[in-house]
Amino acid sequence: MPSRPIGVFDSGVGGLSVLRALRAELPHEDFVYLADSGFAPYGERDEAFVVARARAITHHLLHGEDQPIKALVMACNTATAAAIHLLRRDHPGLPIIGVEPALKPAVAASQTHHIGVMATRGTLASQKFKALLASLDGQAQFFCQPCDGLADAIEHNDTPNISALCARYLQAGGPFGVHPGEMDTLVLGCTHYPFARAQWQALLPAGVLIIDNGAPVARQARRVLTHHASEDHIGQITLRSTGDPDLLAQAASRWLGLTVSAQSRHL
């Protein structure tokens, strides 16, 4: 019997940054990626809406196709913060891996102990993020900047707007650099934001470290999986979108080098 796929979902194409890390860590696994682009962005929606979407998508990945998933990766900071505890309660037998802004790795890496965090408004307002921040009290100073519109600009590959928004939000944060009192580390707290890495790097002083959460999530997925695919198997990718499937396929081609068509889903 073939191994079942791992489900991955995000509000749009941003979770492809996590899928990229998952494929590198688990090359023999099959993945089903669902972009909820018809309802994006999550980061500027209320919590009840995000919870309802997370539940609908999880149900679809478990029951809506011939082959149900064996694990779920919530490749969205906003959805993780709002809904992971509820999904784990709803599906106690399903391994569910979430994402969170990589504050702990940033604390370990920073020399100045001043750290910038770029995230969606929904993530920054969540109780889960506030608890994470509180757990690191006294270990570093964090500047947390909501980045309204940035995920949507990345979703639509709007390069001029991406550059303008990155510049605006970095400027709002105060000095970045490697000297005392400057922020020497930037945490990308939305899975869309790594796809603007070139813009971030062009705007930041040399030596400032950029951290996202793709690799730690992939390592955690490997740890929690109870059944791994055979190493003789070549992992396959299935793409689905509740919005324009061509936009998802184009993003997967642009950022992951995948030549896979995407399927449309209404849920």
Q: Would you call 144 a catalytic residue per the annotation? A: no
One of 76, 144, 147, 166 is an active-site residue; which one? 76
One of 144, 147, 166, 190 is an active-site residue; which one? 190
- DSSP character string of the chain: -PPPPEEEEESSSTTHHHHHHHHHH-TTS-EEEEE-GGG--STTS-HHHHHHHHHHHHHHHHHSSSS--SEEEE--HHHHHHHHHHHHHH-TTS-EE-----HHHHHHH-SSSEEEEEE-HHHHHSHHHHHHHHHTTTT-EEEEEE-TTHHHHHHTT-HHHHHHHHHHHHHHT--BSSSTTSB-EEEE-STTGGGGHHHHHHHSPTT-EEE-SHHHHHHHHHHH-SSPPPTTSPP-EEEEESS-HHHHHHHHHHHH-----EEE---
Catalytic residues: 76, 190
